[in-house]
């Protein structure tokens, strides 16, 4: 087996392993979320602020979290704010703001795997 064939084979094996691990991590995150929900429900039922276990403590905190807006809703809100503040052409200004947030385009090489059909 040549060096390039060995490299291609190793790349395919690594990509397969990455996909497998992503699925494992996905299941672990679901399980962790389920356990956290269960613990929070227990603490709420028992009207406790936390629980001690094995030299550590889990403390229930109330935190405020903002839900992300959709891209369309964000653009609509920005457009409205610009219009309300007297910008003469808010759509053009909004387009310029969105473009300014993007970085410069850079060319790079990316390998794409395509399955070849045998005839």
Share of the chain above pLDDT 90, in %: 60
Q: What is the pTM of this model?
A: 0.68
Distance from C-alpha of 77 to C-alpha of 84, rounded to nearest angstrom: 10
The helix/strand/coil state of 105 is: coil
Measuring CA to CA, which residue among 58, 3, 8 is closest to residue 36?
Answer: 58
pLDDT-based confidence at residue 3 (cuts at 50, 70, 90): very high
Beta bridge partners of 52: 57
Q: Per residue in 14-41, pLDDT tens?
A: 999 999 999 999 999 999 999 999 999 9
The helix/strand/coil state of 52 is: strand
Distances from the Cα of 118 to the Cα of 4, 13, 79, 115, angstroms: 22, 22, 54, 9
Q: Which residues contact 49 (CB under 8 A, 6 or more apart)?
A: 43, 59, 60
Q: Per residue in 30-72, pLDDT tens?
A: 999 999 999 999 999 999 999 998 999 999 998 999 999 998 9
Distance from C-alpha of 92 to C-alpha of 83, rounded to nearest angstrom: 11
Are the C-beta atoms of 50 and 60 separated by less than 8 Å? yes
Mean pLDDT, residues 90-115 taken together = 87
């Amino acid at each position: 087996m040549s060096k390039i064939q060995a490299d291609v084979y190793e790349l395919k094996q690594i990509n397969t392993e990455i996909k497998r691990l992503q699925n494992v991590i996905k299941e672990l995150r679901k399980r962790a979320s389920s356990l956290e929900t269960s613990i929070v429900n227990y603490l709420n039922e028992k009207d406790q602020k936390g629980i001690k276990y094995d030299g550590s403590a889990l403390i229930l905190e109330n935190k405020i979290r903002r839900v992300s807006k959709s891209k369309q809703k964000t653009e609509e809100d920005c457009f409205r704010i610009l219009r309300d503040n007297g910008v003469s052409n808010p759509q053009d200004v909004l387009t310029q703001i969105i473009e300014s947030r993007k970085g410069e385009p850079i060319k790079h090489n990316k390998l794409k795997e395509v399955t070849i059909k045998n005839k």
